[in-house]
Amino acid sequence: MPERRVAGRRVLALVALMLAAGVALPVQASQRFAARGEIELAFSPRDDAEKVLIELIRGARRSLEVHAYVFTSRNIADAMVAAHRRGVKVAVLADAQMNRRAKPGAKGDAVGRLLAAGVPVAFETAYNAAHNKVLIVDADGPGCAVLTGSYNFTWSARNRNAENILIVRGQCELARAYRDNWRWHRKAATVVTALPWKP
């Protein structure tokens, strides 16, 4: 294994221990990538951002990693379940505080729908808010894409709020950087098997 990869894993392990112990982390330098690929955007409620998001999920062929702050949209959950059923490796990280109270079958029970279908879900508990809103599609390509923006996976984001989404397609180096960050968060998250969830 290359030395750089081993060193990177050691750093991740150290950072996970620091987080678990409540130690503040130093600010890390940003990452830059050469511009390439295609960019798509949508503004809610003017555009149908949920439709764009669901079409992205439907296009996934191998993997879909998800960061969700608030996740109540059954339409988006159903698209993820359909991807899971067709063999896409789907996994979701969600903010514990915002998603733990849903009751199975209740309105807004998107996370429960995922769990019932066998989609792996984990809650982030190490932060005041796990505020990411990200979809990472097929990071290893072909067809890699990253969706990010302000858009929560909710009815209000689609119909009431001023929101945005940005999709970068064909920039697999960027997709892998997002996936690496997702994996880093996943190591410190708590697996959820049922709702409502108690810490």
Catalytic residue among 47, 78, 89, 131: 131
Angle, CA 40 vertex, CA 71 and CA 84 arms, to 5°: 45
Catalytic residue among 84, 95, 138, 185: 138
Q: For residues 62 and 156, what is the distance between their CA atoms, to the nearest angstrom?
A: 30
133 classed as catalytic: yes
Residue with the two structure tokens 């929101």: 163
131 classed as catalytic: yes
Q: Which residues contact 28 (CB under 8 A, 6 or more apart)?
A: none
185 classed as catalytic: no
Catalytic residue among 67, 84, 133, 185: 133
- Which residues are annotated as catalytic? 131, 133, 138
